[in-house]
Chain A
């Protein structure tokens, strides 16, 4: 299996924190991830996990949403108030609501249990690649399109000069859309560019992110749909000037 190269400026092994109450599982995951080049810590309570995540500097968090007591979502919500550290959620398979909610609150990706640990490693690499690219400011110039002002430097969005709260993934997704407006972008393409990985069968994460983005931004000023779904292919960000009567 090929090793992914880690970002140059972070030459020390990236630190990962797992917050999951299953002690044995954490040990197994840690054992798997260490040879992949990660430094892994594990915490088994939500409240302690939150404290540790905020107190120390982690490159990524793995969070179990089914934590007893202080549920995973609460931890995620409280975390997002203070930190933009990338988070991968571990969810229950088949629980759509949890997945959508988690991505909305600000998780970067999710993986349902039980999972193939190689898949977990791949997603961790993808998320880290994305966040370091963002930190390096891969495309530093701002974009203005219609009522949207997109500032990658400040990682902020203005709609009608009013700021809009987007998660990290939603932000990147909007960036991809704004760089190719009026063009149909395939779901697979979006997944590779935004999530840094391929879509699995029946994997709806891109659709969830698009749906959340649509909801947060709303319709275009002329009332038309901002992001159109192109059946069987992907999505299209509408050009605001021309009103297409579909």
Chain B
């Protein structure tokens, strides 16, 4: 906005000065020949006396000093002349026309003329002031006033442009940013929409778009919730039915029941994982953010995993940690870390401990959570694909793994959504190391 105003002011001043100069020049070329004609004839006819009388009469009327030269360069009244006057004389003599020579604050106009007798003369008018020598001079304080007036008008125009164009655009940008950050209620304010122009149409279109996005997101959330409910109801009934069956079976059938239970459990985990994935993909979860203490989160996950590991003769230990925090979704980050930890607990050999560490990276600009297990590791070629949904290291369905291969892909998506990255490599002394790196904003 400031740039526009400045440009407008500068260009108007510049064009104003240009115009006056062009106008002066035009008048010079029109008037000087006539004056020169008059002076030359008077001198030619009446000599010095006649010229002096003519000059005395004209003195004070025009703000220029006339100098009449004959063909040899001699000022007929023997007066001393400034170099600019001399130059104007020479130029006019050479070109036989009107010549204008700029001189500091003023100018000299030289005119070659033939008197009625045919004798050539050159008249030079010396003007000492900027601006027209012909008309009444605009006094400088009026000029200043004119300038201020121009400034005022330009200022008002800028203000109008700002109010009517820039401000609505700023509002639109603010609403767009708000929407992008997750506030689905972001709209352009109705006051800006009462005009009848393209900006108002743009604002209305934006509001319509935001409305549609809000409807879609809400519909998606509801759908996920509904699917969750619908898929889990049969499972809930199944679980209670299994509980009932357990009471009446004999030991032989008990084993089959356990198997059924395990499958039901797996189905449940699968549903949970799929729904989490769906929620992540739809972006609806990304919206709730807060300041998360990563060290506390890691410890909490480690504690829970340790509890679970203990019942399988395995352990979990936090090797190193440091205080750090970043903005993010606590629930999602917890799931991300938990999935890797539980995976590690499942694969680590009996009697071993899963080692978790949280350490700074790249001069403290990011934090890395490393989880190492003492399991069989993963073939080198497959290291980057373990983070894809449903990936399995080997084709045999491992009955102990339970998680059906969705956990790591959820981790991957969550960490990436937080601007980080996940990677895995085999520890030189055996086992898999999964590293989650997160920039500390």
* A interface, CB within 8 angstroms of B: 22, 24-25, 28-29, 31-32, 35, 66, 92-94, 96, 113-118, 199, 201-202, 231-232
Contact = CB atoms under 8 A, between A and B. Distances in A.
Contact of B232 (A93, A118, A201, A232): A93
A115 B239 contact: yes
B171 interface: no
A93 B268 contact: yes
B308 A116 contact: no
B155 interface: no
B213 interface: no
Given A28-B240, A32-B244, A114-B239, A66 B272 contact: no
Contact of B240 (A32, A66, A93, A231): A32
Interface stretch (B55-63, B120-128, B299-307, B413-421): B299-307
Contacts of B235: 113-114
Contact of A96 (B241, B276, B307, B331): B331
B237 interface: yes
A140 to B, nearest CB: 36
A114 B303 contact: no
Contact of A117 (B244, B303, B308): B244
A31 B232 CA distance: 20
A3 B231 CA distance: 33
Given A28-B244, A94-B276, A202-B304, A116 B229 contact: no
Contacts of A28: 237, 240-241, 244
Contacts of A25: 233, 236-237, 240
Contact of A66 (B229, B241, B275): B229
Contacts of A96: 331
Contact of B233 (A22, A115, A116, A232): A22
Contact of B236 (A22, A202, A231): A22
A92 B438 CA distance: 30
Given A92-B229, A94-B275, A118-B243, 19 more contacts: A24-B237, A25-B233, A28-B237, A28-B240, A32-B240, A32-B243, A66-B229, A96-B331, A113-B235, A114-B238, A115-B240, A117-B244, A199-B307, A201-B304, A201-B307, A201-B311, A202-B308, A231-B296, A231-B299
Interface in B253-275: 264, 268, 272, 275
A199 to B, nearest CB: 8
Contact of A113 (B236, B241, B275, B276): B236
Contacts of B228: 92
Contact of A94 (B229, B243, B272, B311): B272
Contacts of A94: 272, 275-276
B247 A35 contact: yes
B239 A232 contact: no
A195 to B, nearest CB: 16
Q: Which 4 A-B pairs have the closest CB atoms?
A: A117-B243, A28-B240, A201-B308, A114-B236
A232 B268 CA distance: 29
Nearest to A229: B296
Given A31-B244, A114-B264, A201-B308, A22 B237 contact: yes
Nearest to B228: A92
Contacts of B338: 202
Contacts of A32: 240, 243-244
Q: Chain B's interface: helix, strand, loop or mixed, by majority? A: helix
Nearest to A22: B233
A43 B241 CA distance: 20
Interface string B330-358: 01000000100000000000000000000
A7 B235 CA distance: 33
A190 B204 CA distance: 57
A230 to B, nearest CB: 11
Contacts of A22: 233, 236-237
Most buried by A among B268, B299, B307: B307
A190 B264 CA distance: 31
Q: Kindly state the interface size class of chain B when it binds its partner.
A: 20 to 34
16 contacts: A28-B237, A28-B241, A32-B244, A92-B225, A92-B232, A94-B275, A113-B233, A114-B236, A114-B238, A115-B239, A116-B243, A199-B307, A201-B308, A202-B308, A231-B296, A232-B299
Nearest to B335: A94
Contacts of A92: 225, 228-229, 232
Contacts of B304: 201-202
Contacts of B237: 22, 24-25, 28
Of the listed residues A22, A28, A66, A231, the one surrounded by the most CB atoms of chain B closer than 10 A to its CB is: A28
B268 A114 contact: yes
Nearest to B268: A114
Interface-centre pick from B240, B272, B275, B338 (highest chain A CB count, 10 A): B240
A40 B311 CA distance: 35
A226 B240 CA distance: 42
Interface in B212-258: 225, 228-229, 232-233, 235-241, 243-244, 247
A22 B243 CA distance: 18
Contacts of B296: 231
A25 B244 CA distance: 12
A71 to B, nearest CB: 12
A153 to B, nearest CB: 37
B312 to A, nearest CB: 11
A28 B275 CA distance: 27
A208 B171 CA distance: 41
A31 B241 CA distance: 9
A236 B235 CA distance: 39
Nearest to A20: B236
Contacts of B229: 66, 92
Contacts of B244: 28, 31-32, 117
Contacts of A29: 240
A84 B311 CA distance: 37
Interface string B281-319: 000000000000000100100011001100100000000
Contacts of B243: 32, 116-118
Contacts of A232: 299, 303
A115 B236 contact: yes
A232 B301 CA distance: 10
